[in-house]
Amino acid sequence: MAIRFTLNEREVAWDGDPAMPLLWYLRDHAGLTGTKYGCGIGACGACTVHVDGGAQRACVMPVAGLDGKRVTTIEGIAQSDERAAAAVREAWVELDVPQCGWCQAGQVMAAVDLIARKPEPSDDDIAALTNLCRCGTYPRIRAAIRRAAAARREGGAA
């Protein structure tokens, strides 16, 4: 029996191995390679996507758990006109956040989730994000999250 879910606003069905991690479905079957493999154990956050609007680690989420759910990847966020997503994208560009870029899709997904849940995130809220950056761009990431949150509250661009 097929597992049916919505992926970036499109209905999809998966008839393969239900134990397959979502990450491998996204990259190998859906052709969405923006979600990165980092550690494979849900620790680094490079594979962060949104499931029903909340940040989740795709490397440890089996496709079987997605039936009837909504999955949004970095490709979906890139097309989104939702205010939190737009504000984060603009702040990331304005502050030149990425260095090597490997973690950035996961960082953006975590930031959009945080700002959607907490429009005025505190420094502690931002510091509590567990996505790792091997280049150490944390000061730029934190500044971009602050800028994006402020822009979203003000109703404008970052």
Helices (H), 95-137: 104-117, 123-127
Whether residue 96 is found in the same domain as residue 128: yes
**End residue of a domain, out of 31, 55, 76:** 76
Q: Which domain holds residue 63?
A: 3-76
Integer Cα distance of 75 and 105 in angstroms? 9
pLDDT tens digits for range 30-42: 999 999 999 999 9
* Structural domain includes residue 22: yes
Number of separate domains in the chain: 2
Q: What is the mean pLDDT of residues 95-120?
A: 95
CATH code, domain carrying 132: 1.10.150.120
Predicted confidence at residue 154, as pLDDT, reads 87
Q: Mean pLDDT of all residues in the chain? A: 95
Asked whether residue 58 falls in the same domain as residue 114, the answer is: no
Is the per-residue pLDDT at 158 higher than 70? no
> Which pLDDT score is estimated for 156?
60
**Exposed (0-12), middle (13-18) or buried (19+): which is 26, by Cβ within 10 Å?**
buried
CB 25 within 8 A of CB 5: no
